[in-house]
Amino acid sequence: MRATIVGAGAIAHAHASALAELAEHDGAPAVETTHVVDLDLDRARAFADQHGIAGVATDVEALLAAGDVDVLHICTPPSAHFATAAAALRAGVHVVLEKPPVLSLAQLDELVALEAASSAQLTVIVQHRFGHGAVQLRSLLADGALGRPLVAVCNTLWFRDAEYFAAPWRGRWDTEGGGPTMGHGIHQFDLLLSILGPWTDVTAVAARQARDTDTEDVSMALVRFESGAMASIVNSVVSPSQVSEIRIDTEAATVALTHLYGYTDEDWTFTPAPGREEAAALWRPDPTALPSGHLAQLLPTYRALAQGAPLPVTSADARRTLELAAAIYRSAFTGRPVAAGEIGADDAFARSMDGTGAPWGPAWAPVSAGVPG
């Protein structure tokens, strides 16, 4: 299969390295990264030299039109994701899209429609679903071995300084789509959703605490799930002691993950409930497993592509996570809980994540006395 990477910036290196490593693993198809595309040709050239890629270009649509691409890895800033992914799907080219997939639910719904009409599939990079600990936890919960999930905590407490936000596309609704809810915590709460299943409703707050951004720099949400489980989710980019963590308390055990940008089995702990000590034997670390990361996701993704099978992260999976992000913003900005499915196509929060406007932004105005809406 011929892969092309568009956007030769920071995260593109993780894609190029993982693509080069695929061949070392059983069942992976032969994949060649034939081109790298960037608006900045010098950057594309330097990237191509570093990764041994033969082709460089500035215009991805010309490559698609020439029929030179089987799989397009989109690693541009979020504002370019929609148009590039749409062009690929129209050309029958599979899309591996970096998070956040697009700027709004409306854009994702358009891509889902294009995918349905295309021979190609769309997937989104959410690499933390693919570490062995997460795979094992999902399987134990599905088997009922851990009983019902009851309570969960999902924290993304990161630190991003003013220099980070100096990149022109960061911290803006129209180019990044949101703050740490869309750009940072989305990894952790996507993993939470992959473990706990469908969410039913969310109550959230958000604020701009310390950064000179249009978007929030902190959000906090209380989420309920169809299973009856409840979770708190915190997304921050103003937290000097950085950590990414998920903790799930079930009837049989507490299963907890503490890491920063990726994990192995050593980053998980398993604590059986009193009287359920036998459950400890269920948790079996695998020292040979890949760490969570792009390779761990791309390996099953390319195996599925080679077999014509559904991808391990479908566009429907990605939509559930993006819908939760939209619902967090809607709840935070209107002061009301939001139910899954409530944000319809006509909703301001379907069209853009800031919807009717952030309470700190120029567009915001309360619609009724004391209740922002």
Ligand X SMILES: NC(=O)c1ccc[n+]([C@@H]2O[C@H](COP(=O)([O-])OP(=O)(O)OC[C@H]3O[C@@H](n4cnc5c(N)ncnc54)[C@H](O)[C@@H]3O)[C@@H](O)[C@H]2O)c1
The nearer residue to ligand X, 8 or 141, going by C-beta atoms, is 8
Query: Do residues 256 and 249 make contact, with C-beta atoms less than 8 angstroms apart?
Result: no
Q: From the CB of residue 71, how many other CB atoms can be counted at a distance below 10 Å?
A: 24
120 binds ligand X (CB under 6 A): no
Could you check whether the bond before residue 274 is cis, i.e. omega within 30 degrees of 0?
A: no
* Of the residues 131, 180, 183, 359, which one makes contact with ligand X according to CB under 6 A: 183
| Residue 9 makes contact with ligand X by CB under 6 A | yes
Q: State how far the alpha carbon of 340 is from the alpha carbons of 126, 150, 171, 349, in Å.
A: 21, 19, 26, 13
For residues 286 and 253, what is the distance between their CA atoms, to the nearest angstrom?
19
Nearest residue to ligand X, using CB?
A: 9
- The site map against ligand X for 61-80 (x = CB under 6 A) is --------------xxxx-x
Q: What is the DSSP string of 20-55?
A: HHGGGSTTPPP-EEEEEE-SSHHHHHHHHHHHT--E
Pair 213, 201: CB distance under 8 Å: no
Stretch that binds ligand X, among 33-41, 113-121, 197-205, 266-274 (CB under 6 A): 33-41
The reply on whether position 244 binds ligand X by CB under 6 A is no
In whole angstroms, the minimum distance from the beta carbon of 40 to ligand X comes to 5
Could you tell me which of 245, 239, 247, 222 has the C-alpha nearest to residue 324? 222
Note whether 117 binds ligand X by CB under 6 A. Answer: no
Cβ proximity to ligand X: between 12 and 86 the closer is 12
45 is a site residue for ligand X (CB under 6 A): no
Among 99, 129, 172, 303, binds ligand X (CB under 6 A): 99
Q: Which residues bind ligand X (CB under 6 A)?
A: 6-12, 37-40, 43, 75-78, 80, 98-99, 125, 127, 167, 183
